[in-house]
Each structure stands twice: as C-alpha cells, then as structure tokens.
C-alpha cells in the first residue's frame, strides 16, 4: 500500500482547490474484454426474510458504502462510482436494473456502492444521497444519474464564482447545494432543504468521503469510474456487458 502523503483534512482542502469545472477526468471507460462463458454450476436462489425482498434491504458498510441485498450472498459486487461521471450514469441506466432484478433479487449477489469523489460537485451530491435513510440511498443515486445532464446544466454557471470566493469546506458544499439547485432537486425527492443544509455543513462527512476515495485508489487500484470488485478482486471492467459474464462464471444465473 502506498504511503499517505496528506492527512484527510489536507486531502479535503486539495479537493476544494480543484477547478470547479465538470469534465471527464478520472471518469474512464476501460476497454472491456469479453469474459469466457459460465464455468461453474448455478447457485441456488436464497429466500429473503419473510415479507421482504432482498432488493429492499440496504445497510451501511464499515468501508463507507451502502450494500443492497443478502448480506451473506456468495457473490459480492462492489461498485466505485462518481456521481459526476457519465460512464457511471450509463451503467446506472443499462446495468443497474439488470443487476438488481436478475441477480440481487435472487439473494446470490449483493451490490455495494461506494462513492468515489473527484470534485467538489461530486462530493456535495455524495453528501446529499447519504442524507436520508440507508433505504433511500440507491433510489437517490439513481435519480442523480437519471438527471445528470440537467444537474450539470445548473451547476456549470456557478463554478467561476465559487472558485473566486474561496469558501471553507463547510460553506462551499452548502453554496454548491443552494446555488446549483441541488437542495431543490433533493427536496423534491424527500430530503427537506433544512435537512440537506445540515448534512452539507458537516465537513467531517466530506473528509471521510475524500479519505475513503484515497484508500480505494491505494487498496484496489481504482483509477477511474466505474470500477467493480467481485469478491474483493478488481475485475477491470466498466460496463454491464463485460461484468455480467464474470458474475455468471461465479455461478450467478
């Protein structure tokens, strides 16, 4: 593991100092190679608790993510995603519904999403999708991805102004949320404005997101988003078309 050169607080300040421009940096689609066909027998579906569906069961993980599904699923998928990454939005549209309904719902696969923050906008949105209950996390994340272009259009004009103001973290995220229309966006989806502003004032939440992102890069060689782990291994693919065969090889069918 690489030696840490900065404390979490200094990492946060470095993030805040980044240009407030939305782009594709650190959001890279890998050249996915098709995986081979299934090699093992199919895993048997696991019944959820009475009266529940696995897709409704969400918990916060010790690694700073949110996991959906059977906590004892034999196949554990982790996605490192950036909320400002168009390739992640593409996976959310094409891959996430299939992964949820065809695999997580059977209890054989769990899905953990870990925010990989790469700019102040990304960090602001990550703080807001975490502002409600754990059960709301995936729905709010889906909403951000589904409306990513409209969100970008509202955020883009405020970048130069905020950069010039050089606000401290606890004010920067609140300013992005309010001036960029994010508090209105989340208010329409169940996160009241006063609740959102309280979440955005907690710079320690942003510090943890930044520190978890740095740790992901060191531990799992996450250099772009989306990145997927399957049972702890970086499988080095970034699309559903390449990820699904890997899950089938592991027995998810």
> Which single residue is written with the structure tokens 């559903």?
240
The CATH homologous superfamily of the domain defined by 59-249:
Glutaredoxin (3.40.30.10)
Question: What is the model's pLDDT at position 201?
Answer: 95
Question: What is the model's pLDDT at position 161?
Answer: 84
List the chain pLDDT tens, one digit each, 253 residues: 333 333 445 555 556 555 565 554 457 656 566 555 556 689 999 999 999 999 999 999 999 999 999 999 999 999 999 999 999 999 999 999 999 999 999 999 999 999 999 888 999 999 999 999 999 999 999 999 999 999 999 998 888 888 778 888 888 899 999 999 999 999 999 999 999 999 999 989 999 999 999 999 999 999 899 999 999 999 999 999 999 999 999 999 8
Would you list the domain boundaries of the chain? 59-249
pTM: 0.89
| Residues, the chain | 253
Q: How far apart are CA 105 and CA 21, in angstroms?
A: 38
Q: How far apart are CA 174 and CA 167, in angstroms?
A: 10
* Half-sphere CA count of 230, side-chain side, radius 13 A: 19
Identify which of 111, 108, 47, 72 has the alpha carbon closest to the alpha carbon of residue 240.
Answer: 111
Question: What is the model's pLDDT at position 14?
Answer: 57
Helix residue spans in 75-187 (DSSP H) = 86-94, 96-98, 120-129, 137-146, 148-155, 159-165, 169-179, 182-187
């Amino acid at each position: 593991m690489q030696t840490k050169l900065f404390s979490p607080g200094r990492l946060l300040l470095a993030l805040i100092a980044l240009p407030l421009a939305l782009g594709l940096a650190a959001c890279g689609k890998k050249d996915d190679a098709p995986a081979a066909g299934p090699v093992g027998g199919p895993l048997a579906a696991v019944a959820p608790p009475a009266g529940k569906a696995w897709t409704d069961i969400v918990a916060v993980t010790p690694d700073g993510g949110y996991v959906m599904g059977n906590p004892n699923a034999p196949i554990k998928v982790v996605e490192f995603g950036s909320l400002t990454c168009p390739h992640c939005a593409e996976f959310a549209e094409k891959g996430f519904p299939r992964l949820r309904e065809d695999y997580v719902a059977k209890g054989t696969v769990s899905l953990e999403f870990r925010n990989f923050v790469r700019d102040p906008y990304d960090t602001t949105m990550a703080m807001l999708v975490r502002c409600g209950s754990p059960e709301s996390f995936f729905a709010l994340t889906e909403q951000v991805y589904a409306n990513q272009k409209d969100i970008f259009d509202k955020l883009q004009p405020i970048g130069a102004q905020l950069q010039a103001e050089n606000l401290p973290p606890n004010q920067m995220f609140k300013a992005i949320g309010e001036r960029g229309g994010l508090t209105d966006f989340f208010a329409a989806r169940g996160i009241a404005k006063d609740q959102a502003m309280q979440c955005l004032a907690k710079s320690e939440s942003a510090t943890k997101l930044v520190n978890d992102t740095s740790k992901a890069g060191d531990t799992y060689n996450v250099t772009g988003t989306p990145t997927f782990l399957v049972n702890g291994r970086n499988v080095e693919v970034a699309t559903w078309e390449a990820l699904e065969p890997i899950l089938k090889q592991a027995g998810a069918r």
